Copies of this chain bind each other. A is one copy, B any other.
């Protein structure tokens, strides 16, 4: 049973309607496993399949997937807002303020922070897909 089938089965059991459009968006996100902008999703579907989905529909579907906690939404500054399937291998990004390079980092780096937030504030952090800004090794930090 593929990841896509597993997700679809789960949604169906929740009593959700699985339209062609919803399946196409899910397929794009699962197939690429990448963070995609609304445009990326739209273009991917247009190129892979020979059909297109109206933009408002993509917005509605991504919002619906977010409500089901199946996709994460992250503001990547220059790159815009990206969506990504919440998979097993959760990860985050370092974004260079100078050269816009992004570095993938493992989720475990937040374990300590999560624990502290819960211990000190009884706050259960949901860090699904975080972007941290700063300067990469190749770029001089611009001091004020």
Contacts and interface: CB of A to CB of B under 8 A. Distances in A.
Interface of A: 68-70, 75, 94, 96-97, 103, 105, 109-110, 112-113, 116-117, 120-127, 132-137, 141-142, 144
Nearest to A139: B124
Given A109-B116, A113-B109, A113-B113, A121 B135 contact: no
A126 B109 contact: no
Contacts of A103: 121, 123
Given A94-B121, A105-B121, A116-B109, A134 B144 contact: no
Q: How many chain copies? A: 2
A135 B126 contact: yes
Nearest to A122: B137
Contact of A123 (B113, B126, B136): B136
List the 4 closest pairs (A to B, CB-CB), nearest first. Answer: A122-B137, A125-B134, A69-B144, A126-B134
A144 B127 CA distance: 15
Contacts of A117: 94, 105, 109, 132, 134
Contacts of A122: 136-137
Nearest to A141: B124
A35 B120 CA distance: 23
A67 to B, nearest CB: 9
Contacts of A69: 142, 144
